[in-house]
Structure 1
Amino acid sequence: MSPTNIFKFRPATLAAGDDRWFVEAWDSTLPYLASIGSTSQWQYIPSNIPGAVSKVKKMVEDSDICAKKYPIASPKILSGNGVPPLDWDKAYVAEIDVKKEDVPIALADKYSNEHGETVTIPVGAMVLMARSPEYVRAVIPEQDENDPFIYLSFLMTDHRAGGLAKGSGSALLSIAKEEVKSLGLKRLCGDCWRGNGRRLVGYYDGQGLKAIGDFDVPKNEQDSWEGAVTEWRA
């Protein structure tokens, strides 16, 4: 597939079964991470962990609720001091239209019964929140009244889609930046694994999200998950 893949975007919803697809796509990242020496980024298969499955379902559910409560991304939803409401959540799916004959083998069975010559395949996902997760708060607060932000809590590519997913991460990040601007804010933050020579940190740097601090999340008495908080400014 051409590197100039053309994506379309929609909100993730429980009705569309996106919570199940999120988990399947998350599972698909493990072989890829192993191939680039980043096995320690994720050491478990999400679909085998009830807590991970529940976490993903809640992401999509919270986005559904937010879409009803805050249907329009506007500065009008900000508080008097310009801070977004902490219950603001938005999950996105990036999709691509492709001829049936070009569907990757890993997904062929799933789309074999679709009608028509063209099918729409989800290839990437993103979750935005108006608060930082607890594990990064040594670097960044839950929210900053003096410098408010939207937080990128989840960004993923479905590796079963192969070349069809190429560029979807960058495209989703562009949507995230537009969300920040639509809300009248100027700051997008997020975090990522910093192991394997900070390879993933370098990816986000190339997308305009610069590292602003490192953190460690203990996994056991001897080991920890190494992370970095990143930031983009409009």
Structure 2
Amino acid sequence: MSPTNTFKFRPATLAAGDDRWFVEAWDSTLPYLASIGSTSQWQYIPSNLPGAVSKVKKMVEDSDLSSQKYPISSPEVLSEHGVPPLDWDKAYVAEIDIKREDIPIALADRYSNEQGEIVTIPVGAMVLQGRSPEYVRSVIPEQDEKDPFIFLAFLMTDHRAGKLAKGSGSALLNIAKEEVKRLGLKRLCGDCWRGNGRRLVGYYDGQGLKAIGDFDVPKNEQDSWEGAVTEWRA
């Protein structure tokens, strides 16, 4: 049996350059997706698309601002209707401490100037929000006063880290579930691509997030991005 990686977690911040790392790690997913027949999940290199770079930067920036406005996660944060504020955002980075000699080749240049025998590298990222994105509104509303939720807007593993990142997605999802509980809620929602035989939907199902509805986002006159909304309940 292979050893289990031990992760630590911190808020993502602009000061730490996490927005740039998010995009680099996002780029790293493309060769892996191609290897499993999921090229259509992302058909572009995020770092080459200004809109994608700006989107990621705004996620981290919004998290910075939200952490100042809502420094703790507790039921006191909820509005008078018992729902998360629409501007509640929380971005996380999962990290792992490794020996310098174990730095993956793909990351060697980035961490070659780090001091000490133990090096900390980021291996996964997650963004949580107090609202759903517009493209899933055919399945769930922006927020639901009768059945409020936190929305998982972004979950990613840095494939440059190889086996060191294994398990980081599951660990971050556990953090998301704890956030739901700390806020006094019962529901975590998210969305994912449903192509390639719903392989990614199956991954989330294994993590306890069950598919509750499908949607399509038009990409052009002939094609669309196929998605599914998922849900976990405490």
TM bracket, shorter-chain basis = over 0.9
Q: Aligned residue for 1:153?
A: 153
CA distance in 1, matches of 2:58, 2:40: 25
Q: Please give the residue correspondences for 1:1-234 in structure 2 after superposition, counting only pairs within 5 Å.
A: 2-234=2-234
1:133 deviation in Å?
Answer: 0.2
Partner letter of residue 39 of structure 2? Answer: T
Q: Tell whether the 8 Å contact from 1:3 to 1:167 is kept in structure 2 after alignment.
A: no
Secondary structure of the residue that 2:96 maps to in structure 1? strand
Contact 1:124/1:169 (<8 A) preserved: yes
Residue identity in the other structure for 2:145 = E
The 3-state SS of whatever aligns with 2:188 is: strand
- 1:80 Cα deviation (Å)? 1.9
Superimposed CA distance per residue, residues 181-205 of structure 1 (whole angstroms, 9 cap, x where no aligned partner): 0000000000000000000000000
Distance 1:112 1:217 in 2: 42
The RMSD of aligned alpha carbons is 0.9
1:113 Cα offset (Å) = 1.3
Q: Is the 8 A contact 1:82 1:145 kept in 2?
A: yes
Structure 1 residue 77: deviation in Å? 1.1
SS of 2:63's partner is helix
Q: How many residues align?
A: 234
Give distance in 1, aligned partners of 2:97 and 2:79: 39
Question: Alpha-carbon deviation of 1:209?
Answer: 0.1
Structure 1: runs of 5 or more not aligned: none
Task: Work out the CA distance in 1 between the residues paired with 2:79 and 2:129.
Answer: 16
CA distance in 2, matches of 1:3, 1:204: 23
Separation in structure 1 between the aligned mates of residue 118 and residue 196 of structure 2, nearest angstrom: 39
Give TM-score scaled by structure 1 length: 0.99
Cα distance in 2 for partners of 1:89, 1:79 equals 15
Cα distance in 2 for partners of 1:3, 1:88 equals 36
What is the CA distance between 1:81 and its match in structure 2?
A: 2.0
Aligned counterparts of 1:2 and 1:43: Cα–Cα separation in 2: 33
Tell me, what secondary structure is at the counterpart of 2:22?
helix
CA distance in 2, matches of 1:28, 1:73: 31
Q: Which amino acid aligns with 1:222?
A: Q
Letter in 2 for 1:96: I
- Contact kept? 1:127, 1:153, Cα under 8 Å: yes
Deviation at 1:3?
4.3
Quick one: distance in 1 between partners of 2:80 and 2:87?
16
**1-structure distance, mates of 2:200, 2:3:** 20
**Percent identical across equivalent pairs?**
89
